[in-house]
Chain A
Amino acid sequence: MLTTETTDRRLSAQGPVAEQFEAMQQQQASNQFGMWLFLATELLLFGGIFASYVVYLFLYPQGFSEASNLLSLPMGMSNTAVLLTSGLTMVLTEHTINAGRRRSALLFLLATLALGLSFLAIKALEWHHEYQEGLMPVLGLAFEHSGEHAQQVRLFFHFYFSLTGLHVFHMLVGLGLLGTIAVFILQWRDPPRIARQVQITALYWAFVDVLWVVIFTLLYVLRL
């Protein structure tokens, strides 16, 4: 039987161990490992679409670069900046809560939440923009692009809306988690447990960040 190590003074390492585990160290390692596995599945979920996108990128390099030009690079850039900053505040949340500093943890968490929301706002604005330009070939909406490669541009926008839509869905899940944790911090019932929840959520949030960077690179930046 493992002896519980008392050297770990972080808040997340305190508290009673769940009944199926022998030690807190084992419990935490299991949680982290489980979350990493989950993120691996998420990566593969997007991976299928990424792979398809790359296949078409090689098939229709001109059409896709023409379509890529139609996206708003400034909006994409600012969204990247916003999301990376939120990644920073999330890390700070994790640090402060592990130190037991409830107030600053809450502040950083709310900042993360706000940044996440502004990401969504910018994204909505971008979508609206594309809707007005007639670049939204979904739900039977008219597609009004008449460049050289209209058909391939249309295909590109199918990818664009699938990928960004799926990413926005992940953002919403993440924001839901952050909101729930904010409520937990306000109640402050089982602090070590909240600290562990923050750790796991931070992992997820970082993943959503990285995902965006990949999507941004593929759709906005990469040309053949």
Chain B
Amino acid sequence: MSVVSGNAWPANDLWPREHYLSSGFRLRDWLLTTDHKRIGWLYLASITAFFFLGGVAALLIRLELMTPRGDLVTADTYNQLFSMHGIIMIWFFLIPSIPATLGNFLLPLMVGARDLAFPRINLLSWYIYTIGGIFTLFAVIAGGVDTGWTFYTPYSTMFSNTAVLAAVTGVFVVGFSSILTGINFIVTTHKMRAPGLSWMRLPLFVWANYATSLIMVLATPVLSCTLLLIALERVLGIGIFDPSLGGDPILFQHLFWFYSHPAVYIMILPGMGVVSEIITCFSRNPIFGYKGMAISIMSIAIFGFIVWGHHMFVAGQSLYAGVMFSFFTFLVALPSAIKTFNWTATLYKGRIHFTAPMLYGLSFIGLFTIGGLTGIILASLAIDIHVHDTYFVVAHFHYIMVGGMVTAYLGGLHFWWPKMTGKRYSELWSKVAALALFIGFNLTFFPQFILGYLGMPRRYHEYPADFQILNAMSSLGAGVLAIGYLLPLVYLTWSLFKGQPAGSNPWNAKGLEWLTTSPPLKHNFVQIPRVTEPAYAYDRDDG
């Protein structure tokens, strides 16, 4: 078998005669497909559109913040920009990003199944996602929404006169799409593993998606119920969060964060899964401490449910509730620390190939480390009093979600692109893009930590003049980052038409998905494979 070498794609030009892309080219073959691989593509196309939409909003925000005065857009427009940026990026890009695209495509392949357990529900979830997206776009057209992605009451219920209802409906609807995806993944992982594929042989990508699905299934409905109460409050005049009726606006925050904190783990666990696949493959080493990795994924998912109060340290919960939530938050950092350690240790005595996916993977480890450790700083009650709702928080969660999840998503896309399309992409340009991303990202978000500790509150349209230098650095970085995101769009699209065939296993990787052709067959496998070895049975000497 040919082997990955440092700088060349293997000369392997297998191209299957029949595969999932070759059967049916009409529009209805795509829109009515129940093939998980094609649904993965539907999701990929839609989330890419939303990603660039949310990205444009981000760029406008950064442009506005080049100067301390509000001179590019009005205050109201600015508020709508960051609200749309948050809503779109979180619910229409990050949450479905890895699970609904790579997960949809790969989960059945990785467990050795012909499809997910409920193919039609899988398609339904995409349609629900689309309907949610239409509501959100409608909210943008109908004058935008200015509540921030958090919809805090009583601002969202009684004071904002923007298209809150349309946006809330959009998010409410899209929640059901992730619930359905979650159910599908859980059932598939439980019931459809190939013979011999025990739980402890599952790739960590499957573990990560399984844990993510658990959170989706258990947390999303609480968000739905909270948004429903907001909608009822706006439409019917029901006042469960209305302080003038004796309702409690803090209750909204509890319900909201009960979902939205676990949702943060929806937005990072799949990335951890992807990186575990990449790091092992390109260091030709089994993962360091497989069991520890699987356990830490599950414990992050479970502990994630009891730390929501750390979003409310200054909102006036009792002192001791604050201390408890801080304690649990420190605890939830432990499994993350173990994971970072294990990825790094996986490199030890490996045979490391610096391919584009590997560059993304290593960037992920670095950025996630910074994001995670600043999370510890935020979990410290005393510091959080000072930096809560400042740019420190903004920088922290962008390190996790953008530096972590988006980097992992791009890494995964580069890793499995040859599998999904059967084509190779430009090696040089992909490395340039990975580098631009790493540099641009740090330039954008590192200055924001300093800004935050200096006290610049988030969601500020105008700011005191002495914050300008740091803000300008950040805006400059955003430009570089934008290049890092646009480049893959160009060369990956190019590869679809002009790329050389990749062959079934260009990286010489382990895992069931590499046993089938690239692109895979319509029903994935000629015969369901039988698994006889643990995951990542790499051999350091075969390269």
Contact = CB atoms under 8 A, between A and B. Distances in A.
Interface of A: 1, 19-22, 26, 29-30, 33-34, 37-38, 40-49, 51-52, 55-56, 59-60, 137-140, 151-152, 154-155, 158-159, 161-162, 166
A20 B218 contact: no
Interface string B234-248: 001111100001111
Nearest to B238: A158
Interface residues on B, range: 35 or more
30 contacts: A20-B119, A21-B117, A21-B192, A30-B192, A34-B117, A37-B182, A37-B183, A38-B183, A41-B179, A41-B218, A41-B220, A42-B221, A44-B221, A48-B221, A48-B229, A48-B255, A55-B248, A55-B251, A137-B237, A138-B236, A138-B238, A154-B239, A154-B245, A155-B246, A155-B247, A158-B238, A158-B239, A158-B240, A162-B232, A162-B238
Contacts of A51: 255
Contacts of A159: 240
Given A29-B191, A34-B187, A162-B229, A44 B222 contact: yes
Contacts of A33: 186-187, 190-191
Contacts of B239: 154-155, 158
B246 A20 contact: no
B240 A46 contact: no
B4 to A, nearest CB: 32
B246 A151 contact: yes
A20 B115 contact: yes
B183 A34 contact: yes
Given A40-B218, A48-B226, A140 B114 contact: no
A60 B248 CA distance: 12
B183 A52 contact: no
Residue with the greatest number of chain A CB neighbours at <10 A, chosen from B119, B184, B217, B221: B221
B480 interface: no
A60 B240 CA distance: 13
Nearest to A18: B119
A43 B218 CA distance: 9
B89 interface: no
Nearest to B118: A34
Contact of B221 (A41, A59, A158, A162): A41
B224 interface: yes
B523 interface: yes
A166 B182 CA distance: 23
A180 B436 CA distance: 56
A151 B246 CA distance: 7
B116 A20 contact: yes
Contacts of A152: 246
B367 interface: no
B238 A45 contact: no
B231 to A, nearest CB: 11
Given A20-B115, A20-B192, A49-B229, A30 B240 contact: no
Given A19-B114, A34-B118, 6 more contacts: A20-B114, A20-B116, A45-B222, A49-B225, A55-B248, A154-B239
Contacts of B232: 162
A139 B237 contact: yes
Q: Sort A-B residue pairs by CB-CB distance and give the 7 closest, nearest first.
A: A48-B225, A20-B115, A45-B221, A44-B221, A138-B236, A158-B238, A41-B221
A47 B222 contact: yes
A21 B113 CA distance: 8
A45 B224 CA distance: 7
B124 interface: no
Which residue, of B179, B222, B238, has the highest number of chain A Cβ atoms within 10 A?
Answer: B238
Nearest to A46: B225
Given A47-B225, A48-B255, A19 B523 contact: yes
A34 B182 CA distance: 10
Contacts of B376: none
Contacts of A40: 217-218
B314 interface: no
A166 B183 contact: no
B543 interface: no
